[in-house]
Structure 1
């Protein structure tokens, strides 16, 4: 008892010294960790400044949200045996008779990403939920063996309930059904949807639940992938969530988007990504049916060459960025980008400027107004820098266009779930398809042209003449763009 009294008296006498020592020690330890483990200089400087000027709250935020624990966790939970089936093992690089200027891209691509380039695929664009949802539900209704579905947002609205009913009906027919939803994206809908599916025996899981003491340190890392695979025969992926807002003809606040129906051997790569995510979330290993080619189909019916690019803050980190840089280096005539948020990092912006300086026509379409006003301000702050070397930017006047595509020349395209912002490039788990096919590019260029007709060009003089308060506001929020 006397010891406790002496201790309290000592603390009372030296409380200021204790606070100073604690302040310095906490700031020092956290700053050293930032210096050792953060690669981006500007991000490191921002964290250190936050830690120094607000040592307690800054350090707390850093230890909770600034450390990439996913990579270590993924290495434990994703055993290599799950991935070996699709990894290249000292095999010869196949150029698939593609133009010679893309051969260097394929060589680099095989080093960037473990998935093989596969021929004999077919990719069909599906515009908005009006075309995508009926096709997806029909595929679920036709399923005979196995259905897997992953989505970032799955709303409990009339569209979401149609999917739930189709999934339950498939389960009752004896089809194995696995549904994986993101802990943040699903939000308050999780309990209703989970209860409805589980009550009928459908297996569900949340990727990094938001409301969990064990996973709170992962709250900033989300699974942004949208995947539907059925029986190893057909797959759907792209940027479209499950929401009635994507039914543009009937929605009060419509969201334009594009999704893709995929057939061919690349389906196995898509289902492999789902299997790894499911194992990460549940530690359960699922066996999904492999694609079986239809020997009666003509070879040239499915001529598209494709492979999956998966990216995230785990061992797949930076594969997306390197894939885009690699493709941009091969561009000869045109680069066309559609994205809801265009806030590329310095490396990607340099690659785009390099293409423009070579004489490549670079065109970018973004929404005139997105669903996140802060990001609109950040994009507007960057417009002058982006257009410095002749890059053209257009603002789509539709209510909100969530489409995500990249088209290079008449042969290469990039489709999937990724936005051109820090969240997609650094924090989210994403899935994309790298494609070589002239027919697909023709369709995507027609889609781009149609969007361009409804867009207005950004004029450099108008950006320069913005009111000073808008310039200050835009550039202020630009400082926080890596964290938005």
Structure 2
């Protein structure tokens, strides 16, 4: 046995301990120096110090944001500019379409967004899978040139198979097709839909993965976006995945409800830009704007000023968060929020509470029974903070509603894939749309008010009546809310 072997045999515990301390110290310093949220920094430093080796390993896997530093994230901005560069439908003032207080909100969107606010759009609300999937199938069947589809979840069930078969028929008649599914979301069904699409030879890919499996450094980052664009002329986006559970004829009385949107007009080019951006990041393939995006918007006869707001753990981190802060700040009469997962950070909580305290009526509609039990527990742990400030919180008594809808003063709307929780606000790649239109905002407000008419108001007395053990459980789970 050599001297080195003898040394290692005698002192390996000490060497392992010192090595873990060095690794932990480097990881803790990195977390402290790179995290912009003090709570995130404290949390990661605590995890690393309590378990220097395994904590550091976990931080390397889930804590370091490489996307913002990836060279591809700089290259792919070209697609956004190419598709979203249209200025023929831009507007300088929103007062005539919305209300004067939203002029400053438009400036905020101009500052933080990639896209201009465009007029000439038509927006149609679609209710759950009963209206959304037939409309999407129709768009696919009528497509002549191109189809792109992106979803967090694309289940291999009756509705998913219908869409896959429609895509196959479109491809057989010469339509170019690209399908992008999130790598985590694809695992929600067995067999995964990606396998079926590949058998049909439909060009498809998984977001944030590679042939060898999940990219561990990106395992906590997901594309939550939902996009369908046909011929670059008609687009769909919102919060609904592709699942049979959204169809009442299949799921019956337990069908999940949601609200999706169909768009016509120049906003469709922005939806296409986001897809092209993500497709290039995933596959390195560039989708030329002339082949994938229409330039004929005059026939839509739309009047809705709209803009896509993309956010994610890249250089657009916090875009959705900033838009919500701006909207709550300019509200003058009424804020309506409907969200399945409501876990705002302390800044958003403060903005909502401040709006209520200055006399704004704030209505927040949440599911009475959530599909994610842990999230529901965490929500109950902090919901008292908005109730104390004067907000009205409503628990829906109907089936689970997955809709993500916000209106302010019946004149501005915000819809899309973002939940009001840490994952959507910091970790997920999201796509939302802001719209400055009174008629549409009133339509969405009426839908939320209908939900309220069938909901039960949550009070502080009800929260206080929760047994201590359950309160403690809720608080413990709430501590882990950034990772739910």
TM-score interval, smaller chain: over 0.9
Which residue matches 1:315?
315
Does structure 2 conserve the Cα–Cα contact (< 8 Å) formed by 1:88 and 1:114?
no
**Per-residue deviation at 1:188?**
6.2
| Superposition map of 1:458-473 within 5 A | 458-473=458-473
Q: Deviation per CA, 1:414-469, whole angstroms, max 9, x where unpaired?
A: 01001010111111000000001111112111211221122111011111221111
Q: Distance in 1 between matches of 2:27 and 2:86?
A: 40
Which residue matches 2:93?
95
Which residue matches 1:332?
332
Q: Which moved more, 1:45-54 or 1:255-264?
A: 45-54
Flag structure 1 segments of 5+ consecutive residues without an equivalent: none
Which residue matches 1:151?
151
Which residue matches 2:482?
482
CA separation of 1:345/1:192 partners in 2, compared to 1, >3 Å: closer, same or farther?
closer
Which residue matches 1:7?
4
**Per-residue deviation at 1:193?**
2.7
Which residue matches 2:42?
45
**Per-residue deviation at 1:369?**
1.5
Which residue matches 1:272?
273
Q: Deviation per CA, 1:160-207, whole angstroms, max 9, x where unpaired?
A: 110011000000110001110010101164865334323333111110
CA separation of 1:213/1:260 partners in 2, compared to 1, >3 Å: closer, same or farther?
closer
Which residue matches 2:217?
217
**Per-residue deviation at 1:303?**
1.0
Q: How many residues align?
A: 477
Q: Distance in 2 between matches of 1:250 and 1:36?
A: 51
**Per-residue deviation at 1:145?**
0.4
Which runs of at least 4 in structure 1 moved beyond 3 Å after TM superposition? 74-80, 188-192, 210-214, 291-297
Name which of 43, 63, 80 aligns with 2:60.
Answer: 63
Flag structure 2 segments of 5+ consecutive residues without an equivalent: none
Which residue matches 2:264?
263
Q: Distance in 2 between matches of 1:414 and 1:187?
A: 29
**Per-residue deviation at 1:47?**
1.2
Does structure 1 conserve the Cα–Cα contact (< 8 Å) formed by 2:155 and 2:192?
no
**Per-residue deviation at 1:248?**
2.2
| Superposition map of 1:109-128 within 5 A | 109-128=109-128
Which residue matches 1:374?
374
Q: Deviation per CA, 1:255-314, whole angstroms, max 9, x where unpaired?
A: 1111001111110001000000000110000125333345466xxx41100000000001
CA separation of 1:325/1:66 partners in 2, compared to 1, >3 Å: closer, same or farther?
same
Q: Distance in 1 between matches of 2:232 and 2:130?
A: 24
Name which of 79, 82, 85 aligns with 1:82.
Answer: 79
Root-mean-square deviation (CA), in Å? 2.0
1:291 and 2:294 matched: yes
Q: Distance in 2 between matches of 1:313 and 1:116?
A: 22
Q: Distance in 2 between matches of 1:441 and 1:61?
A: 44
SS at 2:365 equivalent = strand
1:341 and 2:338 matched: no
**Per-residue deviation at 1:30?**
1.1
**Per-residue deviation at 1:15?**
2.7
Q: Distance in 2 between matches of 1:389 and 1:200?
A: 55
**Per-residue deviation at 1:409?**
0.7
**Per-residue deviation at 1:88?**
9.0
Does structure 2 conserve the Cα–Cα contact (< 8 Å) formed by 1:141 and 1:170?
yes
Does structure 2 conserve the Cα–Cα contact (< 8 Å) formed by 1:414 and 1:434?
yes
Q: Distance in 1 between matches of 2:86 and 2:169?
A: 38
Does structure 2 conserve the Cα–Cα contact (< 8 Å) formed by 1:150 and 1:181?
yes
